[in-house]
Amino acid sequence: MIATYALCVRPRLVRLGATDEELHQPFPGAELIPDSERASATMAVTIDAPPASVWPWLVQMGYDRAGWYSWDILDNLGKPSAERIHPEWQEIQLGDRLTAMGEERDSWEVAALEPERFLGLRASVDLRGRPFDPRTGHPASYSDALWGFMLSELPGERTRLVVSGYSALRPRWLFPLVNYLVYEPTHVIMQARQLANLKRRVERGESTRRQLAGREPDVPRGQTGGQRPMTGKPDGRAATGDDVRAVATCLTSAFYEDPVWGLWAFPDEASRAQRLFELMRFFTLAGVRHPWLRMTDGGEAVALWLPPGVPEFTPEEEIAFGLLLESLFGERAGELAALFEQFDAHHAGCTEPHYYLSLWATHRDHAGHGLGTALIRENLARIDSERMPAYLESTNPANIPRYEAAGFRRRGEFGPQDGPVITTMWREAR
């Protein structure tokens, strides 16, 4: 059995997914581990997404960050690895340490960093598991290893991800024993799982991103879909896949000078309209799944409601939303993600089932004619017939009297640091 494993099974496992060329071509990072040997395991996977979509998943790795995407019970103390990109974990630099298993001393140092091309993580420990700084010398007995992730762009917006590395173990006679009996069996199992999970996560997010970047929304034309069927016919009408552009245009016009979504989020007026439209288009695509994205016939006014128990985004949309924030806000993506977390935290405080008015807008060309107010009153009449309360956040103080006239009362306040105030409001069931 040992001979069968050594001759037939092991050679396939340690090169899982890798081609002959990938096994023998130069791999980055050899100079970082002096007097080292190429890792005996080189594994690879093709991901249906460009390197720019794969890279964010790699740089957010770490126990106290997104996890390692492998067997969480074994390498993340049972904490589930992230299922989306987190903007707040996208900034790493050479010398940063990514915690491995809950203790800071058990960590990987960022030793090589070439964005969207190569990430090299280094672990230097003595044989008692204590870390040392290889720049100041080596103990008599030690392990010094580089874990590398090399990305190559393929035709068709695809990525070839090759994982390999280098290691030095002293005393040298320990290398065969540790490598074949300890390192290889555990590494192959963990690495195969990581590559499979990375591929699944990245491709799921990329599929949604491609759909939302210009493809038709996944909603049958002339239908609204939805989890909560409506009895009777509420006034106005539900938006369909044909209305996505009109709804997003109305929202962009209405929020163009909004203190939060206009002036604070997009201070550059030259690019504000296009970037705000992309944000509003995302919310529209997510909201058009159910019949509570309401609009006037010509799209002059819109109201995006979420019925009780309906999440704003699907898991796939959560991933795509993180990518959108990176695209729209760049270095400010973490700041915007933190603000959305505040929205979620305050909304989570409403434990009673309710309708949530996520967005309400009247196109500026049609403001002052009472269209938006009439639409909301019609919607609220339907909600009142179900004896349900309602919740919203006002990002513009000028709109608060309008909400109060509709029966909403102020509940709390929050907002970005040194930024505009956002007011939460609640309307009791009637």
- pLDDT, residue 233, reads 35
- pLDDT, residue 161, reads 96
Helices (H), 288-364: 315-329, 333-348
pLDDT band at 334 (very low <50, low <70, confident <90, very high): confident
In words, the CATH class of domain 237-427 is: alpha beta
pLDDT band at 129 (very low <50, low <70, confident <90, very high): confident
- Comparison of pLDDT for 95 and 40, the residue scoring more: 95
User: In the chain, pLDDT over 70 holds for what percent of residues?
Assistant: 87
Count Cβ neighbours within 10 Å for each residue of 101-140 and write b for 16 or more, e otherwise.
eeeeeebbbbbbbeebebbbbbbbbbeeeeeeebeeebee
User: pTM, whole model, 2 decimals?
Assistant: 0.56
- pLDDT, residue 135, reads 87
- pLDDT, residue 316, reads 80
Structure confidence by residue, pLDDT tens digits, 46-82: 999 999 999 999 999 999 899 999 988 888 888 899 8
- CA-to-CA distance for 56 and 205, rounded, in angstroms? 11
- The region of weakest confidence among 29-38, 148-157, 296-305, 324-333 is 324-333
Closest listed residue to residue 203, CA positions, set 156, 164, 163, 241 = 156
Same fold, 14-212 and 237-427: no
* Bridge partners, residue 145, by sequence: 123, 167
Task: Map out the domains of the chain as residue ranges.
Answer: 14-212, 237-427
> Given a cut of 50, is residue 367 above it in pLDDT?
yes
Contact 153, 159 (CB under 8 A): yes
Tell me the average pLDDT across 232-255. Answer: 82
Tell me the average pLDDT across 112-130. Answer: 92
Contact 378, 305 (CB under 8 A): no
> Given a cut of 70, is residue 228 above it in pLDDT?
no
Helix (H, G, I), strand (E, B) or coil at 122: strand
Could you tell me whether strands 409-414 and 422-427 are parallel, antiparallel, or unpaired per DSSP bridges?
antiparallel
Structure confidence by residue, pLDDT tens digits, 161-196: 999 999 888 887 766 666 555 567 677 788 889 999
Domain 14-212 has CATH 3.30.530.20: yes
- CA-to-CA distance for 179 and 188, rounded, in angstroms? 11
